[in-house]
Structure 1
Amino acid sequence: MNKYSACTSIIIGKKASKDGSIMIGRNEDCKASWPKHFVIHHKKSFEKENIFKSNDNNFKIKLPLTRYKYSATPEWTTKYGVFEENGFNEFGVAMSATESAYANQQVLGYDPLVEDGIGEEAMVTVVLPYVKNAREGVQRLGDIVTKYGTCESNGILFADKNEAWYMETGSGHHWVAQRIPEDSYAVIANQLSIEEIDFNDKENYMYSEDIYDFVKNNHLIVSKDGKLNFRDTFGIRDVSDTKYNNPRVWYGQKMFNPEIKQHPTDHNLPFIRKASKLLSIDDAKSFLSSHFQETEYDPVGDGDKNTKKMFRPVSLAKTQEAHILQINPNLPMEIGCLQWIAMGVASQSVFVPFYQGINDTPEAYKNGEINYSPDSAYWIFKLAGVLVDAHYKYFVSDLEALQTKLNISIKNNMLDIENKYLGKKLDNDWLTEQNKILANKILNEYKEFSYKLISKSTDFSPLNYKQNLDL
């Protein structure tokens, strides 16, 4: 399973958001048909040993004997690895892994990727259940990369109630991480993005211990002042960036800073920006669901044929699921930490909220294999998208009306759940049941929508014939 050239990520700091929430999110892109599940792993103690061995390569690691509770979105099959991808643990730590990226051949010549090192499929599984804050998450993964090496160049997102971090692995054993400023946001699209590293600022930067000596001794630094710009030193810049990666960053920054004029093909769009307004969870959803709307580059827009297909959009058919991990520090962790999940293509699905305090997920979210099945959340959302795609211009307005209706209903239901949870001091079993009711209600709405589309689609048969009913 090769997941390169895929995901798009977003990070929003607490002072950049309307309600003080920290948000990290990502579209997980792989294949147009590759189901995901959503599960809860409960706390577990191992008596003798806890060993993880990858099905993807020969990566193997001994883990702590206590594995804390965490949520995850694994693949439908473990044949190519688990790919748990994102979740919260019982301490309210959020993790999303990974944003695939690329390192240049000069760097890799001195520190090649390690064939049996840690990769995307293992990162959440061997890190998230064993850390108690975001900074610990960065350090644990960094220590693993330093010791065992990594088989990929990636970006990894971490957050807790206090801060958000973005970490990048740039070669076999070297990595950096930057704390996202509280008043800022970042959007990332399959590029090494972190810029200049301040080695005197340990509060906001972390990195592999000897990274500066590595780049200096091997004459890899490209800046004239001798400072380490991670993007310029470890990353690449080629024509694929102008068509594939830069436009997604450009569009995110266009959404949140419309006053700044940039071009989709521009290199070196800044990693960190301050938005022109406070951002909400809906802004994060809109970005991950976007496909260059209101521009000539929208593949389902009104531009000419070549222009519409010029750039790779954010939301596309190969998205398996999209997620936003939201942490509102003003609420108890059990309801303040929300794992929003849009199964399938975000632009054709809806983000369903799941509270950190739940102890189980709906059955439909645990089902689904490679072929369509009506009892799978992934396939329920995916079917609606497939039916809309077949006659897009006729059905897209129906889809948008459904999404608007459900988003209003979701907010109303959440307010009711949260007020009752706080006011009556209800337990997590109650929270789990209420969350299941909400999630299943959304699934039923999407089922009904698909039934209606099937009925409407019958009139589009090429064997159809319009006749005068008076004959």
Structure 2
Amino acid sequence: MKKMSVTLLSAAILSALSLSANACTGLIVGKGASADGSIMIARNEDFGINNWNKYLTYRPAQENEAGDWTLGNGLVVPMPAKFYGYSAIPDWDANTVDGQGKFYEERGINEYNVAISATTSAEVNDKAQAADPLIDDGIIEAVIPTLILPQVKTAKEGVELLGKYIEQYGAGEGNSLYIADVNEAWLVEIGSGHHWIAVKVPDDSYAMIANGLRVHGVDLASQDVLHSTGLMAFVEKNELLDKPDTTSFNFAKAFGVTGDVYNIDREWLGQSMLSASSEQPTRQDQYPLFMQPDQKISVQDVANVLGATYKGTQLEENGERPMRVERQLESHIIQLRKDMPQELQGLIWQSFGVLPESVLVPLYSSLQDYPTPYQTGSDTYSDQSAYWQFRSLTALAAAAPDKYLPMLKATWDKEETKLYKQVSSLDMTLKSLYQSDKQAALNMASDYSYGQLQRTLSMATEIRYKMMTDLTKSTEKKYSEEEFKKIMSL
């Protein structure tokens, strides 16, 4: 998760938020572990505060002139000859940081169906940091989608390009991120200024990620593992592991902090939801990197994990930091579907605000234009902003959470169930139409997504009106009949 821009907050506020501004939760699902054969990468984008608007946007393909490319955090790299088109969800204030508004773009799919979700922030341990310090103007969450999505045609190419940049320019943060295409998904982790590792997620498995580095038990020589040059030698030289083993390498322990309940409680919770039969104990130092689910995982299952709390579990009384937090800005579940026509293989289920009190709307990759409310507003409430319409529901619910939170979840769960069914049916129509009229199929998909953004926003606004009316009514004083008659006669 992001760190705030110094241009917007004072150093004092930044200091106060430094412990809470790094937090997201993510999930990667292999194609053999999913209910419909799609690859999924998903994440909650959480922040240190509740008020932070996000915009939907599409970056069209473009040709570039040779020269330097300066990104929002000061990183400077050679300008690529061209950019591929891609979708993104930047911060509302991105233009104040970067002239083109490309800052904290967080997730997207490019025209070659390469998808990125970046990042779940991760702590780097003191020993690794001392041996290979992080670089302030290096690779950070805020620029990763912007840097990689417009340049690559496959997920593996994206991993390799990111690794090249890290080794050449350095990294500014410890991070986990996810890169996928229709064939494979990779979990990438950055552990120090210049060292990284990436592991391909097995087709029959999923990976649950909180805010700690997760990669362990991997063979550095495997074709499913990529890593920085000289990684093993660096770990041995600086004694980052007691007994480093190239065939069962523990990147998380070498570079990160394991056993932190802030992270492992969520790892346990997610794995207990998807693989309950494993009956794992709580608060292990490290949980399995990959697990097979008890049942094939659907989009709804992923949403349930991303919206989970510890209620009804062994950690109900003392669980640290659940998936659902009120400082959640948006959530996304990206599907890569190999059985769909090329331009429709990518599908993003997108919500705004706190996931259980919001709705995941299906956005086909053909969609390149968005309703104005999804590109409007700031960190101050606005009736015109889609983010604020959804986020305000959670804020209003805080007045009577036992009453309103279940109502909101039930309302949106019902709506999402309809959307899941609609998309399943629409996919079949689109496949058939694509064979006879490609452009008509793409237009149909785009129009559907655009319409659902409008319709669900109208629903959120109507729900807000009803909640405000109900809350106002609930504050009425109970008068006697005589008092009421007197008041009404005045």
What TM-score results when the alignment is normalised by the length of structure 1?
0.92
Out of 474, 480, 484, the residue aligned to residue 467 of structure 1 is 480
What does residue range 312-461 of structure 1 map to in structure 2 within 5 Å?
A: 312-425=321-434, 426-461=440-475
Amino acid corresponding to residue 175 of structure 2 in structure 1:
N
**Are residues 212 and 397 of structure 1, via their aligned partners in 2, closer, same or farther at CA, if it must alter by over 3 Å?**
closer
What SS does the aligned partner of 1:176 have?
strand
What does residue range 46-61 of structure 1 map to in structure 2 within 5 Å?
A: 46-49=64-67, 51-54=69-72, 56=73, 58-61=74-77
Out of 246, 250, 274, the residue aligned to residue 264 of structure 2 is 246
Out of 72, 88, 96, the residue aligned to residue 72 of structure 1 is 88
What SS does the aligned partner of 2:330 have?
strand
Q: 2:306 aligned with 1:288, yes or no?
A: yes
Q: CA deviation at 1:282?
A: 0.8
Aligned position for 2:59: 41
Distance across 1 between alignment mates of 2:422 and 2:452: 7
Out of 115, 121, 126, the residue aligned to residue 142 of structure 2 is 121
**Could you report, residue by residue, the CA deviation over 1:46-83 in whole angstroms, capped at 9, with x for unpaired residues?**
234461332x3x32122312101100010000245610
Aligned position for 1:207: 227
Contact 1:359 1:429 in 2 (8 A): no
What SS does the aligned partner of 1:231 have?
helix
Give the alignment's Cα RMSD to 1 decimal. 2.0
Out of 164, 172, 178, the residue aligned to residue 157 of structure 1 is 178
Distance across 1 between alignment mates of 2:448 and 2:327: 31
**Are residues 204 and 225 of structure 1, via their aligned partners in 2, closer, same or farther at CA, if it must alter by over 3 Å?**
closer
Aligned position for 1:2: 3
What SS does the aligned partner of 2:398 have?
helix
**Are residues 401 and 116 of structure 1, via their aligned partners in 2, closer, same or farther at CA, if it must alter by over 3 Å?**
closer
**Are residues 85 and 417 of structure 1, via their aligned partners in 2, closer, same or farther at CA, if it must alter by over 3 Å?**
same
**Are residues 387 and 198 of structure 1, via their aligned partners in 2, closer, same or farther at CA, if it must alter by over 3 Å?**
same
- Unpaired segments of 5 or more residues in structure 1? 299-306
Contact 2:66 2:78 in 1 (8 A): no
Q: CA deviation at 1:216?
A: 1.7
Of 154-163 and 4-13, more deviation after overlay is shown by 4-13
Contact 1:97 1:155 in 2 (8 A): yes
Of 402-411 and 7-16, more deviation after overlay is shown by 402-411
Distance across 2 between alignment mates of 1:173 and 1:466: 70
Q: CA deviation at 1:319?
A: 0.8
Distance across 1 between alignment mates of 2:194 and 2:358: 38
- Unpaired segments of 5 or more residues in structure 2? 5-20, 435-439, 486-490
Distance across 2 between alignment mates of 1:397 and 1:466: 30
Out of 134, 141, 150, the residue aligned to residue 155 of structure 2 is 134
Contact 1:70 1:88 in 2 (8 A): yes
What SS does the aligned partner of 1:320 have?
strand
Q: CA deviation at 1:222?
A: 2.2
**Could you report, residue by residue, the CA deviation over 1:204-238 in whole angstroms, capped at 9, with x for unpaired residues?**
00001111111122232322656531112111136
Q: 2:27 aligned with 1:28, yes or no?
A: no
Distance across 2 between alignment mates of 1:199 and 1:237: 20
Distance across 1 between alignment mates of 2:414 and 2:458: 13
Of 354-363 and 395-404, more deviation after overlay is shown by 395-404
What SS does the aligned partner of 1:25 have?
strand
Q: CA deviation at 1:362?
A: 2.2
Distance across 1 between alignment mates of 2:382 and 2:106: 23
Q: CA deviation at 1:289?
A: 1.1
Distance across 2 between alignment mates of 1:224 and 1:53: 36
Distance across 2 between alignment mates of 1:8 and 1:80: 25
Distance across 2 between alignment mates of 1:194 and 1:415: 34
**Could you report, residue by residue, the CA deviation over 1:431-452 in whole angstroms, capped at 9, with x for unpaired residues?**
3222111221111111111111
Amino acid corresponding to residue 429 of structure 1 in structure 2:
N
Of 162-171 and 105-114, more deviation after overlay is shown by 105-114
What does residue range 138-287 of structure 1 map to in structure 2 within 5 Å?
A: 138-201=159-222, 203-223=223-243, 228-237=249-258, 241-242=260-261, 244-287=262-305
Q: CA deviation at 1:468?
A: 4.4
Distance across 2 between alignment mates of 1:367 and 1:288: 26
**Could you report, residue by residue, the CA deviation over 1:238-294 in whole angstroms, capped at 9, with x for unpaired residues?**
6xx12x111111100110111223344221111111111111111111111112232
Q: CA deviation at 1:466?
A: 4.6
**Could you report, residue by residue, the CA deviation over 1:359-391 in whole angstroms, capped at 9, with x for unpaired residues?**
222222111211111222211111111112211
Q: Percent identity?
A: 33
Q: CA deviation at 1:297?
A: 4.7
Distance across 2 between alignment mates of 1:47 and 1:115: 27
Contact 1:215 1:221 in 2 (8 A): yes
What SS does the aligned partner of 2:58 have?
strand
